[in-house]
Amino acid sequence: MSASNNPAGATSAAAAVILRLPRASDRDRVREIVEATGVFRPDETPIALEVFDTAVRAPGTDYWAVGAYVSTRMAGFAVFGPVPCTLATWDLYWIAVDPAAQGMGIGRRLMAHCEEAIVAEGGRLIVVETSSRHDYAATRAFYQRLGYEAGAAIPEYYAPGDALIVFTKYLRPSASE
Ligand SMILES: CC(C)(COP(=O)(O)OP(=O)(O)OC[C@H]1O[C@@H](n2cnc3c(N)ncnc32)[C@H](O)[C@@H]1OP(=O)(O)O)[C@@H](O)C(=O)NCCC(=O)NCCS
């Protein structure tokens, strides 16, 4: 039964997921997840690994990472960080969930973690860049569902016929501030 017609199962599956800092040993699993999603071009995989490596080597500097684990196996990850030359604008550099675990709330939990960490660091704006391609329709729906707004588009950015869509979300300061 798929997660989409088994909401109770999806909820319990998401509850079993643990979020934590990834380790360098998760690198091969990151590659597997990125490749398995089927939306990234082959030349994007080394870039994903590069930002992951940097986040794991020096957490909390330029790149921050979070992994979602079912038992000890990574099911998804996100990498985010402050945008240089801005005042408290942050970028979601990468997010991917293993297709076998999609639709269970893992992406939502990863995004919630990113947003909480960004708010805690005084961030006020999150920017997410994605593609206008048909196979990214689910991804765009995901961001919209989580309150992100499509703020700008640059036609032909990634490739002919493939525009850049910039999603944004303005964050409220945490209650303690
Ligand atoms: C985008 C992605 C990270 C979402 O992760 P996920 O674990 O499947 O998402 P969730 O199950 O947490 O869904 C969160 C919300 O988005 C909505 N959503 C997810 N996919 C959707 C779709 N295809 N259509 C409409 N809504 C969708 C869900 O309904 C859910 O809303 P709800 O919690 O109110 O029910 C995942 O699909 C993925 O890895 N995609 C391929 C890689 C990618 O595109 N990365 C981003 C590059 S910019």
pLDDT digit string (tens) for 68-78? 999 999 999 99
pLDDT bin (cut points 50, 70, 90) of residue 172 is confident
Side-chain half-sphere exposure of 1, counting CA atoms within 13 A: 10
- Look at residue 6 and tell me whether its pLDDT is greater than 50: no
Q: Determine the distance separating the centroid of ligand 1 and the alpha carbon of 85, expressed in angstroms.
A: 30
pLDDT of residue 93: 97
pLDDT bin (cut points 50, 70, 90) of residue 174 is low
Higher pLDDT, 5 or 105: 105
Among the atoms of ligand 1, which is closest to the Cα of residue 138? 23
pLDDT bin (cut points 50, 70, 90) of residue 60 is confident
Give the mean pLDDT of 47-56.
97
Q: Based on the number of CB atoms within 10 Å of its own CB, is 12 exposed (0-12), middle (13-18) or buried (19 or more)?
A: exposed
pLDDT bin (cut points 50, 70, 90) of residue 116 is very high
112: closest CA among 82, 142, 157, 87? Answer: 142
Among the atoms of ligand 1, which is closest to the Cα of residue 97? 39
Q: What is 3-170's CATH topology?
A: Aminopeptidase (3.40.630)
